[in-house]
Amino acid sequence: MQAVLIIPENEWRAVIDRLERLEAQQQTGVATTAGPDDILTTDEAAALLGITPEAVRVARRAGRLQGVRRNEKSFGFRRSVVEAYPLRYQRPA
C-alpha cells in the first residue's frame, strides 16, 4: 500500500521552482553554502606562520591562538584563526 500526500498547488510549484534553481546552481558550479573551515595540524599551522611547532603550542596555551581538540593528545587549528594570528600579534621591528 502506498501513502498519498496532498499538497496545495502553490506549495508544489514553490518546491519545483526551488529545485530548478538548485539544479541550475549545481550545473554552473556555484556553491550554495560555504564549506567548513579547514582544520590544520600543529605542524601545518607552524609552517603557515613560519614559526616552530613548539611556538604554536605555547601560543595556544597562552590563549593567543585558539585550538580545536582533535583527540586526547593533539590540537588542530582553524585556517582562518591561523591566518588572522600574525595580524593580531605582530612583533615590533
Q: How far apart are CA 61 and CA 50, in angstroms?
A: 18
State the cell numbers at 44.
601545518
pLDDT at position 32 is: 47
DSSP bridge pairs for 78: 39
For 92, other C-beta atoms within 10 Å of its C-beta total 3
Annotate 41-77 with b (16+ C-beta within 10 A) or e (fewer).
ebebbbebbeeeeeebbebbeeeebebeeeeeeebbb
Q: How far apart are CA 25 and CA 31, in angstroms?
A: 7
pLDDT at position 60 is: 94
pLDDT at position 5 is: 85
Which residue would you say has higher pLDDT here, 90 or 70? 70
Tell me: the pLDDT tens digits for 26-66?
887 655 444 458 899 999 999 999 999 999 999 999 999 99
pLDDT at position 91 is: 61
